[in-house]
Amino acid sequence: MSMDANDLLVELLVEELPPKALKALGDAFAAAVCDGLKKRGLCPAQTLPSNVYASPRRLGVTVPNVLAVAADKTESVKLMPVGVGLDAQGRATPALLKRLATLGLDAAAVVHLRRVTDGKAEALFHDRVVPGVTLVEGLRLALEEALARLPIPKVMTYQLADGWTTVNFVRPAHGLLALHGADVVPVTVLGLVAGRETSGHRFEAQRHPLSIRHAGSYETQMESEGAVIPGFARRRAEIVRQLRVKADEVGGGARPVEDEALLDEVTALVERPNVLLCQFDAEYLSVPQECLILTMKANQKYFPLLDAAGRLTHRFLVVANIRPEDAGEVIGGNERVVRPRLADAKFFYDQDRKRPLAARVAALDKVVYHNRLGSLGARVRRLVKLAGAIAAALGADEALAMRAAELAKADLVTDMVGEFPELQGVMGRYYALHDGEDARVADAIRDHYLPRFAGDALAAGNIALAVALADRLDALVGIFGIGLVPSGDKDPFALRRAALGVLRMLMEKALPLDLPDLLELARAQFAPEQLATSVALDVFAFMLERLRVYLKDQGAPGDQVEAVVSQHPRRIDHVPARLAAVAEFSRLPEAAALAGANKRIQNLLRKAGVRADRVDPALFQEDAERALFDALQRARPGIESALAGLDYVAALLRLAALKAPVDRFFDEVMVMTEEPLVRANRLALLASLGQLMNSVADIAQLGAQ
């Protein structure tokens, strides 16, 4: 084997890997192998994989600049304190001799030991040269660590060819390839001894097995001789290219449905992608396109084609794993396969429309929502009252909001949603329109599920927002109220997502609603004995924590977020403006001094406990007291006027005028004087100042994180 640094290629050939996990498995395998080599000094610390390979039947990686043998290194071993290891004459004690023996040394090594003071006492150290690990050994250890660290969704247990040895891995492994440049690295793992041979495409490879000449020729040979594109990213890009080409052949602005998860899954299913254009009977286009798109994507892994306006066409794209000269049979086979799926969707759609949504509401009483919170029907009755009250507060049509809430869950007992739960809300809208319901009611049925995930769109219109808020508030209060609070990474009822949805709706739609009042309103829809009495306060505290996380994730500095959220804002729609005002205030030269003064005021008031409620100017003894009081009197009208107009920036900026009198007060006035009336009056003055300073946010928090 060459001793020079060279590319290292490793490939593990396995049975078909789980497609939804393939990309993560490939990335994790490559990163772990590279890390294992770096840890053992076989490649530079800054090395990254030059190529990552992940296909349905292989995981692999190319790591550049890998050594055949790692460099030797000097290792210093601490033995024991000098007083323990040497006697009064400087001779080795039995304890030292025993320790040296464990290192393969005898008494002669004593003269070579170093004495080093480690800060507490003088200790004996032995310096030795540790030979660098060989690539065979280092790669074996790196592979074992990599395989142990893989994010395997489910481990399989199988026996090796000897009939005795049991191996655990994601899928049975059949081959191991390891090349250092052109040389084989004879490493053993999973009962396999590495060589230079691998397998290409099951049906279209030029030869079996395929012998790889050099680590650098792997990708080229796999594509030209093995009919495999081994790199996940390259294969994915090739599928995207072919999808675009086939869509362009159709013309008219046709484009495949965009779905990153589907694209990743299909990339994980094929080794030699070949995109083919297929079609189905146009009569099925009478079914809502969401149903057809979902059945083609979920069941068949097809890419439906949309026209320039985003409407579904009767054509779809298939990513095949073979490239026959005549693709007619492959195309025809896929067209035959999709036909019964689309026929089922049409049957469900036609059957569902025979009964109006309103007639299905009663069936929700037979569906359990939660065994401690009753049926889904009982939940719907709570949503009706809650959505109506929220709509009234927003000035929206209360009756329409209540109707939308009544029908919002009815599609859950339809055949279509029973087959495709992802279509809940979507089908409810179609069925409501078919029944002649108001379009705003139909849209609210669909949109009350928004947002479904972080960054998703919000419901449009106050009727839909009222139902969406009611849905999440009821879930939060109900689940919290029976003690099922999220903990750690466990959140089986998606309450964090529900809380974030409420916060986003209140903020981004600027809804003038009081959050604690909403939570109390939601609690009132349950029987008193169903929920904990403190549930509204508990959920409010939980939501404020989610608000902190969300605002920081949006890029707001932690101290500014804390300045706003620590005030327990009830009106979440005002939070963005308050946060913007704090950001503006923090840029003032006076901000740091006023924040420090505010913190000092809070500490004094906290320690003093009881204080006067009213400031009496007759009790002032120092000019600095009068000056601060006068400055407060001058600043207060402008600040209160700005607050009334929700101009939080102006309110905070006016505080800058108080810096000089505040500084003078603390320089010249002893707050905690022995005279009780004077002391109480000074505390009242500071309380008045603190109230004004914290009218927008707790500015004492600025600079605290």
Residue ranges of domains in the chain: 6-70+134-224, 73-130, 232-352, 357-555, 576-701
Neighbours of 96 (CB within 10 A): 22
| Mean pLDDT for the stretch of residues 328-342 | 94
pLDDT exceeds 80 at position 432: yes
pLDDT in tens, 19-58: 999 999 999 999 999 999 999 999 999 999 999 999 999 9
Nearest to 477 by CA among 430, 525, 410: 525
Q: What Å distances lie between residue 478 and 380, 410, 577, CA to CA?
A: 13, 20, 31
Q: Picking from 108-112, 232-236, 550-554, 568-572, which range would have the lowest pLDDT averaged per residue?
A: 108-112
Q: How many CB atoms lie within 10 A of CB 688?
A: 18
Q: How do 58-66 and 51-55 pair as beta strands? A: antiparallel
- The pLDDT tens digits of the residues spanning 276-313 come to 999 999 999 999 999 999 999 988 999 999 999 999 99
Fold of 357-555: Hypothetical protein af1432 (1.10.3210)
Distance CA 574, CA 585 (A): 17
Radius of gyration of the chain (CA): 36
- The pLDDT tens digits of the residues spanning 120-147 come to 788 888 888 888 899 999 999 999 999 9
pLDDT recorded at residue 662? 85
DSSP bridge pairs for 73? 130
Q: How far apart are CA 147 and CA 14, in angstroms?
A: 13
Confidence of residue 443 (pLDDT cuts 50, 70, 90): very high
Q: What is the phi/psi pair of residue 472, to 5°?
A: -80, -40
Encoded tokens for 350: 């036609």
Task: Domain 576-701: give its CATH architecture.
Answer: Orthogonal Bundle (1.10)
**What is the C-alpha separation between 647 and 375, in angstroms, rounded?**
46
DSSP state of 327: T
Check pLDDT > 80 for residue 609.
no
Average pLDDT over residues 500-518: 97
Mean pLDDT of the chain: 91
Residues 6+ apart with CB under 8 A from 274: 242, 319, 320, 321, 322, 323, 327
Strands (E), 131-224: 156-159, 166-169, 173-180, 183-184, 188-189, 192-193, 197-198, 210-211
Round to whole Å and give the CA distance between 692 and 686.
10
Helix (H, G, I), strand (E, B) or coil at 556: coil
Q: What are phi and psi of 482, to 5 degrees?
A: -105, 15
**What DSSP state is assigned to residue 511?**
-
pLDDT at residue 612 above 70? no
Both tokens of 26, joined, read: 């490939």
User: Which own/partner contact pairs does 80-85 have at CB distance under 8 Å and 24+ positions apart?
Assistant: 80/123, 80/124, 81/121, 81/122, 81/123, 81/124, 82/115, 82/121, 82/122, 82/123, 82/124, 83/121, 83/122, 85/113, 85/124
Pair 91, 29: CB distance under 8 Å = no
Confidence bin at 65 (pLDDT 50/70/90): very high
What is the pLDDT, as a whole number, of residue 610?
A: 57
User: How far is it, in rounded angstroms, from Cα 51 to Cα 61?
Assistant: 6
Tokens of 122: 């003088």
Supply the pLDDT for residue 3: 58
Say how far residue 562 (Cα) sits from the centre of its chain: 22
Nearest Cα residue to 290 out of 312, 305, 273, 268: 312
> What would the DSSP string read from start to end of 104-155?
T--GGGGGG-EEEE-SSSEEEEEEEEEPPPBHHHHHHHHHHHHHHHS--SS-
| Residue 686 or 279, more confident | 279
Q: In what order do the strands lie in the sheet with 6-14?
A: 51-55, 58-66, 6-14, 173-180, 183-184
Residue 151: cis peptide before it, omega within 30 degrees of 0: no
| Number of residues assigned to the chain | 705
Closest among 226, 325, 322 to 270, alpha carbons compared: 322
In tens, the pLDDT along 381-414 reads: 999 999 999 999 999 999 999 999 999 999 999 9
Alpha-carbon distances, residue 180 vs 51, 71, 134, 175, 674 (angstroms): 15, 17, 12, 17, 84
Per-residue pLDDT band for 704 (boundaries 50, 70, 90) equals low
Q: Judge whether residue 565 has pLDDT over 80.
A: yes
Mean pLDDT of all residues in 626-630: 91
Whether the CB-CB separation of 206 and 215 falls below 8 Å is answered with: no
Give residue 72's pLDDT band: very low, low, confident or very high (50, 70, 90): confident
Question: Closest by alpha carbon to 392, among 296, 306, 521?
Answer: 521
